[in-house]
């Protein structure tokens, strides 16, 4: 099979929408000599797309780091890992890194679960780059996918719209 790639353009297609539940308080380790780290545990969730749907298993987490690019403007990175189980029983290991950019006024609203979903998504930036790993023959195609996602805060966690880069 002859596969041809056009390196002058970037195309994507929707892969899935993933709702990560991160219930309970984020643990802030505070500023160390190297970084300020927070840890949030994934307590569950779900994902759904045209070729992929199922549940996000509890037990994963996000070990994020943050700093400031300007006074009152936080920038952060993700180091997230979790396991997804498809509707037909396949297990998929998902890791992702990414970036957040959040102003002080938005950060204050995020800390209040009643307000967090009301914040205009144009006022903050959450982007991820997930990578998938599975041994299940029905989903081996995921091992070849590079994906990107756009996220927004929900009352119980975060929702990422994930796209496969073609």
Task: Report pLDDT digits (tens) over 88-118.
Answer: 999 999 999 999 999 888 888 877 767 777 8
Pick the closest to residue 98 from 53, 154, 134, 147 (CA basis).
Answer: 147
pLDDT of residue 7: 78
Q: Is the pLDDT of residue 5 over 90?
A: no
pLDDT of residue 109: 82
Full domain range(s) for residue 42:
32-143
pLDDT tier, 42 (very low <50, low <70, confident <90, very high otherwise): very high
62 in a domain, yes or no?
yes
pLDDT of residue 32: 84
Number of domains within the chain = 1
74 in a domain, yes or no?
yes
The mean predicted confidence, pLDDT, of the chain is 91
pLDDT of residue 1: 46
50 in a domain, yes or no?
yes
Q: Is 131 or 73 the better-scoring residue by pLDDT?
A: 131
14 in a domain, yes or no?
no
163 in a domain, yes or no?
no
CATH assignment of the domain containing 42: 2.40.160.20
164 in a domain, yes or no?
no
60 in a domain, yes or no?
yes
131 in a domain, yes or no?
yes
């Amino acid at each position: 099979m002859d596969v041809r790639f056009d390196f002058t353009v970037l195309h994507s297609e929707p892969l899935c929408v993933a709702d990560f539940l991160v219930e309970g308080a984020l643990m802030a380790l505070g500023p160390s000599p190297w970084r300020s780290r927070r840890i949030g545990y994934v307590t569950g969730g779900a994902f759904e797309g045209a070729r992929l749907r199922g549940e996000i298993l509890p037990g994963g987490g996000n070990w994020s780091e943050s700093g400031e690019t300007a006074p009152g403007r936080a920038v952060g990175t993700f180091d997230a890992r979790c396991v997804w189980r498809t509707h037909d029983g396949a297990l998929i290991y998902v890791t992702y890194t990414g970036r957040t950019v959040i102003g002080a006024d938005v950060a204050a609203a995020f800390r209040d679960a009643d307000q967090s979903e009301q914040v205009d998504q144009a006022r903050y930036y959450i982007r991820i780059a997930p990578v998938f790993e599975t041994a299940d023959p029905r989903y081996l195609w995921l091992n070849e996918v590079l994906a990107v996602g756009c996220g927004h805060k929900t009352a119980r966690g975060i929702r990422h719209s994930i796209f496969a880069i073609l």
